[in-house]
Structure 1
Amino acid sequence: MILSLEYLIREPKTKLDKNPLILLLHGYGSNEADLFSFASELPDEYYIISARAPYDLQYGSYAWYAINFDADQNKFSDHDQARESRDLIAKFIDELIANYPIDASNVSLLGFSQGAILSYAIALSHPEKIKNVIALSGYANDDIMETNYQNNDFSNLRIFHSHGTVDQVIPVEWARKTCPFLKNLNIDATYKEYPVGHGVAPQNFYDFRNWLINDKIVS
C-alpha cells in the first residue's frame, strides 16, 4: 500500500480487534529510524508507526518544515510548510486507520522537537483524532494551528510534555510558557523537566511510558 508518508511499523505483539496507535514524529534533520528505537520498549498492544518528514535535507535527514536564518542568525520557521505538514500528518492518520485495524479513538502522538511542535498543532487542531500527546523538547506554537482551534473540545485530550533545563536548541522558557497556554484551554497536561540538553533522558522515557500505561489502566 502507498500512503502519504514513508514510515516504519512495529505490529502489535498483542492483537486485539482494534489496536491503539502511537505515531512517532521525529525532529528537524533526523529521520523515521530515530524515535523508532523506542518501539521495543513501548507497550505490546500498540501499533508503533514512525513517519518520515516530507522535506529532504539530503544524507538521510528530513524536516517537517524549513528553519531559516537571517544575517544576524535569528531563526525563522516556515509556518506555511508547518501547516502543510500538520494537514499531511492528519491525513496520514486517516490513511493508517483505513489500512490497519487501528482503534481510531486511541491514537497517540509522540513527537521530538519539531515533531513535538507539530504534535501540539495536530492535536489542538483535530482533538477528535488524538487521545494522547507526548511532546518532548518542543513547545506549542499557535501560529501553525487551525483558525479558531480554541473552540474545539479538548475534554478527551491528555498531554505529557517535557524539556531539558539546559536545552541549547529550544530554550526551556519556551516549554514553560506552554504550561499556562494548555491550562487556559483546560487541557489535562503533565509537565516535567530534566537536567539535560536537547535530547531524551532515560528517566524522561520511563516517565512518559508510565504516564501512557497508567492512562490505559484507568480508562
Structure 2
Amino acid sequence: MNPKDLSLSHLIRPAIDTDAKAPVLFLLHGYGSNEEDLFSFAPELPEELCIISIRAPFALQPFGYAWYSIHFDAPQGKWNDVQQAGETRERLRTFIGEAVEAYNLDENHINLLGFSQGSILSYALALSYPEQFRSIVALSGYIDREMLLADWQKKDHSTLEIYASHGQLDPVIPISWAQQSADFLARVDLKSFQFREFPVGHGVSAENFRDFQSWLSRVY
C-alpha cells in the first residue's frame, strides 16, 4: 500500500534503522487536539521506534478533532457516544494494519500511546485485540468497558504491557476513574502493569514524561 493512500491523516518519524522492520508507536491525541500535539514528544522518544501520530477522524468547530462525540449537554452530564467510539476503534485497527504494511513495520511490535480520549481508545484497542499489541502508554484516561469487544475477557492478555498515569488534580477526568481502571487492570492477566499518579491537572508533567519515557525504553 502507498503511504498516500492510508485512511487517516498522520505524521511520521521513521526509526533510525530503516533497513529493518522497525517497532512502531502510534500516538492518539486528546479531544479537540490534533496529530501535531503528541508528535512533539517524538524527538525525545527512542530512536529505534517508528513514531506515527494519527489525526482523529471527526472535525470539531472551530478547530481540533475528536475520536468520538462527547455530549456535554446530556441530562446526566457529559457522556460518550459509545457506538461511534466502537466504529473509530475499528477504523484505527484498519489504519494500523495499513500503516504497518505501507511503512514496512514490525507487525509483532505494535505499541500505543494515548492522551485523554486517545488513552480511552488505546485501552479499547489493546484490551479488545491483545494479540496485536505489545504495549500501551495510557495518559490521563480510563477504561470505558462499553468500548471493549463483548468477548474481550476470553482473549489472552499475558503478553500485553501497560503503563498508565494520571494527574491527582485533574478537573477533566477525575483521578478516581483512573484509580478504578487501575484496580480493574490489576485483575487482568497482563505481562506487566504500572500505574503512577502525579500532582498535576489534565496534562503531562516533565516528571511524568521522563517516567513513561524510561518505561518505553525498557519495553520497546
TM alignment of 1:162-181, pairs within 5 A? 162-181=165-184
1:214 paired residue number: 218
Question: The residue matched to 2:60 in structure 1 has which SS?
Answer: strand
Q: With structure 2 as the length reference, what TM-score do the two structures score?
A: 0.95
Secondary structure of 1:40's aligned partner: helix
Shift of 1:73: 6.8
Counterpart of 1:21 (choices 8, 19, 24) is 24
CA contact (8 A) 1:31 1:60 kept: no
Deviations 1:38-97 (A, max 9, x none): 000011111100000011003430000000023657111100110011001111110011
Give the equivalent residue in structure 2 for 1:196. 200
CA distance in 2, matches of 1:64, 1:101: 26
Q: Secondary structure at the match of 1:95?
A: helix
Q: Are residue 69 (structure 1) and residue 72 (structure 2) matched?
A: yes
Equivalent residue for 1:32? 35
Higher deviation after alignment, 54-63 or 165-174: 54-63
Unaligned runs of 5+ in 1: none
> How much does 1:128 deviate?
1.2
Q: How many residues align?
A: 216
C-alpha deviations, 1:133-164, integer Å up to 9, x for none? Answer: 00000001110011110111101100000000
Alignment check: 8 A CA contact 1:16 1:45 kept: no
Cα distance change on mapping 1:71 and 1:102 into 2, 3 Å: closer
Residue 147 (structure 1) aligns with: 150
TM-superposed CA distance for 1:212, in Å, is: 1.1
Report if aligned partners of 1:15, 1:45 keep a CA contact under 8 Å in 2: no
1:8-65 deviations in Å (ceiling 9; x for gaps): 1111123341101000000000000000000000111111000000110034300000
Deviation at 1:98, TM superposition (A): 1.2
Instruction: Compare 206-215 and 69-78 and name the one that shifted more.
Output: 69-78
* Counterpart secondary structure, 1:97: helix
RMSD between aligned alpha carbons? 1.2
Aligned-pair CA distance for 1:186: 1.6
**Normalised by the size of structure 1, how large is the TM-score?**
0.95
Q: Is the 8 A contact 1:56 1:63 kept in 2?
A: yes
Identity of aligned residues (%): 49
Q: How far 1:215 moved relative to its partner?
A: 2.2
Q: Secondary structure of 1:184's partner?
A: coil
Q: Distance in 1 between matches of 2:193 and 2:178?
A: 12
Structure 2, unpaired ranges of 5+? none
Amino acid corresponding to residue 98 of structure 1 in structure 2: E
Corresponding residue SS for 1:140: coil
The letter for the 1-side match of 2:143 is: A
